[in-house]
A and B are shown apart, each in its own frame.
Chain A
């Protein structure tokens, strides 16, 4: 290696951006070249000085606040656009008060009468969350295939600890998790993959509702399944075909 090449590559070397072979060649050149070793030391000294706190300009708090306000002005949350999630939220809100009244009446009179309606809304929310997560803005808060990383991540973020199991050996690797909001509460969302399909699993502690027949519904081309896992209410949603989704549901029920 000649000096001209080494003088460029030593930067990649210092930055840990070279492959092993080049790294080694740079080392070998530097060891026997006084000028390059001096340059290497000088650049390293410069890099150290550049880490000085006073050279980093943090964003002023007023800028953060100002920008947040500008974003909200430019894009109000209730913007009228054909979003599944928002329409489902709006629908949920519109029905919230009548439903609360109905729920009280139902508890007194016909305990199971309103459940399908409630479940339907939850199903809509689950589906909307899945669709939204696929829009790539926010699939995962914690990206890890390691269940021992994902599970502790939820600590302190939820008032329960969801079962997190990796099913990589069965063809359904865990890829990450995030917080989501379903049925008026914070829930755990676990993200699995099967081939190119993404599976979202939403979990939260279940009120002991009527036993769910593990029936798969299809809505807007997505398949949804609701099951009970370790005392959790659990919704599985994906564009995966119903057979494979059922297989995944079985795994979750058996080992979750």
Chain B
């Protein structure tokens, strides 16, 4: 297909998914400027590989490329900063004993949820962004993140539990 792909074909298929692309990139790299670079880079990569696209799901296809572009960006720009890893000892506290409380979560404001989600390890952050914010199906997430569908559910389960716990800890701290 690359020979026959016109800019117009490509735009018609993939530009409608730019919000999804930017949202994912923005959550992964966590700032606007770099997210824009990542998205633009991903679209140009996609243009080169458009021949590999078989018309099934352009959104999942472009998101897989955005995700890879975001992870390469993170890898080369992390510098001396340690990777953001979720410190289970600090954040999880005594989750097993206290459990999660729906009432507390309902009261959580968006700023608090945003801060908690930004702090979540990337592998957990991305599944929550794709499922709960972007609304992708498990199949689409599996395609975009290149993992088996079963992994999507178990990863989401861990991710949401961690996020809920982190939000709750923030509420407790005030």
Mark A residues whose CB is within 8 Å of B.
Answer: 7-12, 15, 17, 35, 38-39, 41-52, 54-60, 62-64, 66-68, 70-72, 74-77, 79, 81-83, 85-86, 132, 135-139
Contact = CB atoms under 8 A, between A and B. Distances in A.
B160 A46 contact: yes
Nearest to A128: B4
Interface of B: 1, 3-13, 15, 18-19, 21-23, 26-27, 32, 35-36, 39-40, 43-44, 47, 50, 53-55, 99-103, 105-106, 108, 110, 113-114, 117, 128, 131-134, 137-138, 153-154, 156-157, 160-161, 163-164, 167
Nearest to B135: A51
A50 B154 contact: no
B6 A77 contact: yes
A58 B23 contact: yes
B4 A35 contact: no
Nearest to A137: B9
Contacts, number: 165
Nearest to A134: B55
Contacts of B6: 75, 77, 79, 83, 86
Nearest to A16: B137
A75 B5 contact: yes
B39 A139 contact: no
A50 B113 contact: yes
B139 to A, nearest CB: 9
A133 B138 CA distance: 29
Contacts of B13: 137-138
Most buried by A among B22, B27, B114: B22
A75 B101 CA distance: 53
Given A8-B153, A71-B47, 18 more contacts: A15-B138, A15-B153, A39-B100, A43-B100, A43-B164, A46-B105, A50-B132, A51-B133, A63-B18, A72-B7, A77-B6, A79-B6, A86-B6, A136-B1, A136-B53, A137-B9, A137-B13, A137-B55
B39 A67 contact: yes
B102 A42 contact: yes
A57 B53 contact: no
A194 B3 CA distance: 28
Nearest to A9: B153
A23 to B, nearest CB: 13
B113 A55 contact: yes
Contacts of B113: 46, 49-50, 52, 55
